[in-house]
Structure 1
Amino acid sequence: MAPFWIASILLAIATINHNNNGIVQADILYAGIAYGTSGNNTPDAFEAVLVCHKYGIRRIRIMETDDLAIQSLRGTVGIIEATLGIKDEILPGLASSYEAVKSWFEINLQPYLNAPSEFVVNYIVVGNKAIPGPNAMHVLPIVKNLQQVLADNNLTQIKVATAVSTDVLRTVFPPSHATFLAQGDLIPVLQHLQATDSPLFIAVYPYHYFAAGQIRQDFATFSTHKPQHWDKTLGYWSMYDVLVDAFIWAMEKLDLDVKMVIGETGWPAAGNGGLTTPELARTYNQNFLRHITAGHGTPKRPYTYWEGFLYSMYNENGKPEGVDQRFGIFYNNREPVYHLYFPYPKKHGRKGKSEKLFNTTG
């Protein structure tokens, strides 16, 4: 069966609860794709949404939301759920007052989220890795004001978050030793997120540790057959689990337990010789999808279902030269770089059942 028709079938079942065979709807899946625009040849947001339509991808994280991105989402209720990002460059202006945040909301979102809404928003992410950095001080006031604006409009189901990378951690190995570096800016944000049941988006990239020669390939790609590293009584089968648990341990030291979303993860398909092949990228991304939908959790938080976004939809030539430009899962013509399968979470539907998401082999 050709990839297009496979995707069409998946898209059809995504709009209903169950079919006669009891196949669970696609919107229970916990994984989506991140759409970045750091390039002068990246297809626009309308093309990104068309890719989601074509391949039955139910969740998209738009890293930097603008009017074109908003317009591209209109009419996608029941098909796509969006996570919207507020780019770092406009944080100083938004942080100036409640009125500035309210105006941003009224211009960008309010016309489309009043009943009947034209698209679904799960999260709004204030800044992307703004902490640590010159815009770190602006994150908390914007998060607070945006939460109030959403509450004033009866939209409390939309959660407000911010995103960080492992750069905020002093160490990740072993994860139980992890502590935060940028505590002055970060801790008040974490305290507020916990108090409001809002998530922290984290960026985790085992590839970088593999490329630096710190870990083995199988440990980087979820491919080990037994634990490779031990932290006290916890055995680690993957670097991904190490990185996620490092955040959990660092928060525990502050008596915090903030919900987390895997805001971005992935593997470059080119740019560093044999370390960055389409096959390796497929292996990591496929195993990540299986890992989070199977509910394995991490050694520190077993049986936890994590939401996550693969990075990225396209290559981005505006990123630093080298592998950072080569994380794209799709070519600019909407065709996949490699095939992936999207498993159902085991707590839903048939255990072990997988459906094809997209496939280059036809």
Structure 2
Amino acid sequence: MVAGVCYGTVANNLPSASDVVQLYRSKGITGMRIYSPDAQALNALRNSGISLMIDVGGTDVLANLAASVSNAASWVRTNIQAYQGLTIKYIVAGNEVQGGDTGRIVPAIRNLNTALSNVGLGGIKVSTSVRFDVVANSFPPSAGVFTQGYMTDVARLLSSTGAPLLANVYPYFAYKDNPRDISLNYATFQPGTTVRDDGNGLTYRCLFDAMVDAIYAALEKAGTPGLRVVVSESGWPSASGFAATANNARAYNQGLIDHVGAGTPKRPGTLETYIFAMFNENFKLGDLTEKHFGLFNPDKSPAYPIRF
């Protein structure tokens, strides 16, 4: 699987979970991320063949998992062992965790690893999903370095367990914040821009590669050069904001799907990536664009043409 799709549910008008699973299958989408162990989704996914990334839930759940192995064992029993016929690749201990909660990531991962191993499920990899801003000095990519010490601890733990670092990478926000210096073509996988990084001697033709390679540079500086990155979210909004058009969203997401099979200049090969998101979500908070990241409308019609 190269490109999966995140199944967000912050809306009141979405199809049933079983209809959603059928839509994934009909489009040939073989990977899904869900943001909590939702029973309806997990039941619908049984024997579907779709591989799964499951978030544990909010920071309260993360705190509970960090507190003890027995809490982690209880979570695994309720949310993993109770569902047969699933193909679970990753458990996500925290999504874009901020502030003091970052100290709970490592103990939560350790406790989940122990709980999974104790019941013969050690093949499921436990990680955390970080915002791109955990990296400072992201341009040029070779200058990338982690902004806070907890990321070094996370990277070293993941390196020891063979789990990848999960990162949410959005060229859209980088472009929106700096359209003067970043061209739209460079941000949306269109030809016309090349950027040379004198630090690593590599040439970049899209912003996405440059951002991912900045994470790889930070991992090298943290002493974990072999750690793999999985892009746990990436996407582009199709309405209601700066550069948020169906054409730009289609160019970006189709470009992403077509691109990630080749990896990045620093790490050629397949780069496992999850597009955000399957549906437009009408209850999302924040900028209006947040409601328009979907590949599909709630009636299952495409928001714009896309092929997997």
Normalization by structure 2: what TM-score? 0.92
- Aligned in 2, Cα 1:47/1:320: closer, same or farther, shift over 3 Å? farther
Query: 1:321, CA displacement in angstroms?
Result: 2.9
Q: Residue 106 of structure 1 is aligned with which of 77, 80, 85?
A: 77
Q: Where does residue 26 of structure 2 map in the other structure?
A: 54
Aligned CA RMSD, in angstroms, stands at: 1.7
Q: Residue 80 of structure 1 is aligned with which of 43, 47, 50?
A: 50
Matches within 5 A, 1:125-164: 125-130=92-97, 132-164=98-130
Q: Structure 1: any 5+ residue segments left out of the alignment?
A: 1-28, 343-362
CA distance in 2, matches of 1:177, 1:314: 36
Q: Residue 159 of structure 2 is aligned with which of 175, 183, 194?
A: 194
Normalization by structure 1: what TM-score? 0.79
Q: Residue 241 of structure 1 is aligned with which of 209, 220, 224?
A: 209
Percent identity for Structure 1 against Structure 2: 34
Amino acid at match of 1:269: S
Alignment of 1:165 with 2:131, yes or no, is yes
Q: Where does residue 228 of structure 2 map in the other structure?
A: 259
Secondary structure of 1:251 counterpart = helix
Summarize deviations over 1:154-208 as a string: whole Å, max 9, x none: 222211111001121122111122211121x222111000011111111111111
Q: Where does residue 21 of structure 1 map in the other structure?
A: none
Q: Where does residue 66 of structure 2 map in the other structure?
A: 95
Alignment of 1:205 with 2:162, yes or no, is no
CA distance in 2, matches of 1:133, 1:314: 30
Of 324-333 and 48-57, the range deviating more from structure 2: 48-57
Query: 1:229, CA displacement in angstroms?
Result: 4.2
Q: Contact 2:193 / 2:206 at 8 angstroms: preserved in 1?
A: no
Of 47-56 and 170-179, the range deviating more from structure 2: 47-56
CA distance in 1, matches of 2:134, 2:193: 29
Amino acid at match of 2:173: H
Q: Where does residue 315 of structure 1 map in the other structure?
A: 280
Q: Contact 2:171 / 2:207 at 8 angstroms: preserved in 1?
A: yes
Q: Aligned pairs, how many? A: 302
Q: Contact 1:175 / 1:231 at 8 angstroms: preserved in 2?
A: no
Amino acid at match of 2:235: G
Q: Structure 2: any 5+ residue segments left out of the alignment?
A: none
Amino acid at match of 2:237: P
Q: Contact 2:186 / 2:193 at 8 angstroms: preserved in 1?
A: no
Secondary structure of 1:107 counterpart = helix
Q: Contact 2:37 / 2:79 at 8 angstroms: preserved in 1?
A: no
Amino acid at match of 1:95: A
Larger Rg: 1
- Aligned in 2, Cα 1:320/1:249: closer, same or farther, shift over 3 Å? same
Summarize deviations over 1:109-138 as a string: whole Å, max 9, x none: 11324xxxx1211111111111x3232121
Q: Where does residue 290 of structure 1 map in the other structure?
A: 258
Query: 1:228, CA displacement in angstroms?
Result: 3.2
Q: Contact 1:38 / 1:319 at 8 angstroms: preserved in 2?
A: no
Amino acid at match of 2:187: A
Q: Residue 291 of structure 2 is aligned with which of 298, 322, 325?
A: 325
Q: Contact 2:142 / 2:214 at 8 angstroms: preserved in 1?
A: yes
Q: Where does residue 71 of structure 1 map in the other structure?
A: 43
Q: Where does residue 239 of structure 2 map in the other structure?
A: 270
Q: Contact 1:88 / 1:135 at 8 angstroms: preserved in 2?
A: no
